[in-house]
Amino acid sequence: MSQSNSLESDFYTKAMTHPIIEIKHLSRIFQMGQYQVDALRDINLTIHAGEFVAIKGPSGSGKSTLMYLIGCLDTPSSGEYRLCGQEISQLDDQEISRLRNRQIGFVFQQFCLLSELDVLENTALGMTYAGTKQSWRRSQAQELANQVGLGNRIDHRPSQLSGGQQQRVAIARAMVGQPQIILADEPTGNLDTHTSDEIMERLHKLNTSGKTVILVTHDHKVAEHAERIITLVDGRVVSDKRTTRESPLHDGAGIEPETRHNMTGNLRNDDLIKMALREGLLAHKLRSMLTMLGIIFGIAAVIAMTAITEGGKQHQLKQLRQIGMNNIQVRDLDLQAASLLRQRRINPRGVTLDDMQYLRQHINGVGAVAAWKVLTAEIRYGSTVVGDVDVVGVHGEFESVANYHAVQGRFIDTIDEQRFARVCAIGPEISDELNLGVEPVGKAIIIGDQPFVVVGVMQSKLFTDSKIADISIANRNRQIFVPHRVLRFFFRKDEYASELDAISLRMQSDAELVGQSKLINHIVSQLHLGAEDFGIFVPLEKLMQAQQTKRVFNVIIVVIAGISLIVGGIGIMNIMLANVTERTREIGIRRAMGASRRHVLHQFLVESLLIALFGGFLGLLAGIGSGLLVQQIFGLRVAFGWPIMAIATLVSMAVGIAFGIYPAWLAANKNPVEALRN
């Protein structure tokens, strides 16, 4: 048996052998600025189980203060208060709240019903904090609603009920947990005579059933309904006398076995979430939505920008795979006029096959080497003519270096070059444009004015324009590949043109690409006698530079998003502080029904968490939508990552918790008595 259940069982046992309430030398002092107010002075009082007691006195006599002390909503400044033989001062907040939830039922003058709840929900409120299942407590609330004559109004809210009906709901709520003590604070103060008589009759029935009823009133006629009247004046007991009313016969106080069995003592998570949703977010929908905006903007910015960045990164990686991730290229510079003439006086041939062979022999870790030269020509097949086609003269291991292979026939080989064979491998788009059919291999086409035999058709590959500086991606689907020597022999070239456009070395590892590129630059510079007619390009290095720039951009976006999240968090804190102020009375009602500080803390914390969580979810949708919109309008590729989305959701939850802790702490530490008087 848990400690709380053991304590409760002990109360039941002592209730039969001890006075249910024992108060000795109890005082309650309030500090009002520099002044001290003695609300209660040296109160000594004993009440036995099953009594019907009226505490009477004029306004300001301390009777309500005494009721709050008996109901464990307030603590005395001095003295002792024992409930069923247990000293209350020895219990912590959670134990006192559980005791108040199970042993005490409150009926307030102002009814103290929650406006967002209907009759059944208000009636069952105390059982919510007892941890009972919703189906069970609703059945109990339905039964009590029928008993107090509200069986046909169970779905009505307090604003739809008369004063008498609201007070009957309050009585049903006090009864639902089968408490030992009913505390009624001026229960007829705002009611007409007929309704007042009806309410008093119900209190008598409760007393007859074995409940200890303590009635607080200033009306002597109402007090006469009790069997005992305790009169307070200026915070002191001035009389304690019995009336002529006889005590009812009953079997004593206690919770019915079924009720006790269904009380787990812990607020259920589904009830906690329902409270936070219904009385937090949904009670003020527009305000909640406006509060979420900071979270929405922050999360949306992170999701959208990371998706755009990741999409660009994947696109760049795809492009680099097309030309080789770990390649180093030696390119002829596109010089013009005087600059070209000046460099050709130093090195007349530009980038040459000799450079390629020398690099192959003197650079370690080279996996494959290829070189090429590109010219533009017109091509024909029968009556079909296609103009402005790139004719690429290749030398070396082009397929391996360029990661581009033949799917029909073969590619150009060294024997073709040695024999000056007029053969070609064509891209798939060229094959389609010339209408070569399904078997292009073996057919003769005219390139310029020279006949060539097609020996292979290359694979179809998606080639797009590069977004990385100094990285050019050619659409090889629309190129024709011929032996380099054949290109130079049969096609006219400019007088000062370089022998090669580029040499590409595929390295076996990318670990030392930068160091190897520097060595290659030094060697080629020596071979060219210092001419500045070439450039060294490392695609992977260019990618890293591009990504580094994007990382800086990402950091800026994350900072902006972080500021937005902080602003959103401040908005959550602000709205939750406003909620605490607006709902102070609600907090007092919940505490009176058995909510502990921890329950209130959790409720308001879950409210702020849900605001942030829904804001994060809407931010995810907005971020995904924004990314897709950017892709649709600007053609930028986006790639959404689930880890980023998960992190964004966790961050939004963390913001909700971090900025909701202080308001929740304020709510949990509200004085229940002051909250009820709000």
- The 10s digit of each residue's pLDDT in 318-360 is 665 555 557 889 999 988 888 888 998 999 999 999 999 999 9
Regarding whether 208 and 242 lie in a shared domain, the answer is yes
How confident is the model at residue 670, as a pLDDT? 94
- Please determine, for residue 256, whether its predicted confidence score (pLDDT) is greater than 80: no
- Please determine, for residue 663, whether its predicted confidence score (pLDDT) is greater than 70: yes
272 within domain boundaries: no
Q: What is the pLDDT of residues 269-292, one digit of tens each?
A: 899 999 998 888 888 888 888 888
For the chain, how are helix, strand and coil distributed in percent, rounded to 5? 50, 20, 30
131 within domain boundaries: yes
- Please determine, for residue 445, whether its predicted confidence score (pLDDT) is greater than 90: yes
Q: What is the pLDDT of residues 564-581, one digit of tens each?
A: 888 889 989 999 999 999
- Please determine, for residue 598, whether its predicted confidence score (pLDDT) is greater than 60: yes
Rounding to the nearest 10 degrees, give the CA dihedral for residues 237, 239, 245, 248: 40
Q: Which residue has the tokens 């002044």?
A: 35
- Please determine, for residue 217, whether its predicted confidence score (pLDDT) is greater than 50: yes
CATH number reported for the structural domain that contains residue 217 in this entry: 3.40.50.300
Q: Which residue has the tokens 């990382």?
A: 551
CA dihedral sign of residues 536, 540, 543, 547 = negative
- Please determine, for residue 199, whether its predicted confidence score (pLDDT) is greater than 90: no
pTM of the model: 0.72
| CB of 461 closer than 8 Å to CB of 318 | no
Residue 165 to residue 175: CA distance in whole angstroms: 15
Cα 678 to Cα 276, 283, 510, 582, 588: the distances in Å are 22, 20, 73, 10, 9
Regarding whether 377 and 506 lie in a shared domain, the answer is yes
Regarding whether 502 and 651 lie in a shared domain, the answer is no
Regarding whether 253 and 146 lie in a shared domain, the answer is yes
How confident is the model at residue 547, as a pLDDT? 62
How confident is the model at residue 160, as a pLDDT? 93
| CB of 253 closer than 8 Å to CB of 50 | yes
Regarding whether 458 and 396 lie in a shared domain, the answer is yes
- Please determine, for residue 402, whether its predicted confidence score (pLDDT) is greater than 80: yes
Last residue of some domain: 490, 505, 532?
Answer: 532
Two structure tokens written together for 675: 């909250």
Percentage with pLDDT > 70 across the chain: 89
Regarding whether 413 and 312 lie in a shared domain, the answer is no
Residue 332 to residue 534: CA distance in whole angstroms: 5
- Please determine, for residue 471, whether its predicted confidence score (pLDDT) is greater than 50: no
- Please determine, for residue 311, whether its predicted confidence score (pLDDT) is greater than 50: yes
**Among 31-45, 428-442, 599-613, whose mean pLDDT is lowest?**
31-45
Q: What is the mean pLDDT of residues 160-181?
A: 91
613 within domain boundaries: yes
Our measurement of the distance from residue 398's CA atom to the centroid of its chain's CA atoms, rounded to an integer in Å, reads 51
- Higher per-residue pLDDT: 560 or 544: 560
Q: What is the mean pLDDT of residues 495-512?
A: 86
Burial class (CB in 10 A: 0-12, 13-18, 19+), 648: buried
Regarding whether 406 and 258 lie in a shared domain, the answer is no
**Among 204-218, 471-485, 598-612, 658-672, whose mean pLDDT is lowest?**
471-485
295 within domain boundaries: yes
How confident is the model at residue 10, as a pLDDT? 54
Regarding whether 613 and 528 lie in a shared domain, the answer is no
**Among 1-5, 331-335, 615-619, whose mean pLDDT is lowest?**
1-5
DSSP assignment letter at 667: H
Regarding whether 123 and 162 lie in a shared domain, the answer is yes
Diameter of the chain measured on Cα atoms:
134
Regarding whether 506 and 380 lie in a shared domain, the answer is yes
Helices and strands (H and E) in the chain: how many: 24, 20
Number of domains in the chain: 3
Residue 627 to residue 311: CA distance in whole angstroms: 10
Residue 523 to residue 343: CA distance in whole angstroms: 17
Q: What is the pLDDT of residues 141-151, one digit of tens each?
A: 999 999 888 98
* Residue-averaged pLDDT of the chain: 86
How confident is the model at residue 51, as a pLDDT? 93
174 within domain boundaries: yes
- Please determine, for residue 259, whether its predicted confidence score (pLDDT) is greater than 80: no
Among 97, 107, 138, CA closest to 120: 138
**Among 196-205, 360-369, 466-475, 519-528, whose mean pLDDT is lowest?**
466-475
Residue 621 to residue 626: CA distance in whole angstroms: 8
12 within domain boundaries: no
Last residue of some domain: 476, 503, 532?
Answer: 532
How confident is the model at residue 545, as a pLDDT? 62
Domain around 656 = 282-317+545-676
- Please determine, for residue 421, whether its predicted confidence score (pLDDT) is greater than 60: yes
The 10 Å CB-count burial string (b at 16+, else e) for 76-89 is beebebbbbebebe
Q: What is the mean pLDDT of residues 212-217?
A: 94
Regarding whether 398 and 488 lie in a shared domain, the answer is yes
Residues pairing with 345 in the sheet: none
Last residue of some domain: 477, 510, 532?
Answer: 532
How confident is the model at residue 640, as a pLDDT? 87
Neighbours of 314 (CB within 10 A): 13
Among 513, 405, 422, 510, CA closest to 459: 405
36 within domain boundaries: no
Regarding whether 507 and 570 lie in a shared domain, the answer is no
User: Residue 250: CA atoms inside 13 Å, Cβ hemisphere, count?
Assistant: 22
159 within domain boundaries: yes
Helix (H) or strand (E) holding 555: helix 539-582
How confident is the model at residue 412, as a pLDDT? 96
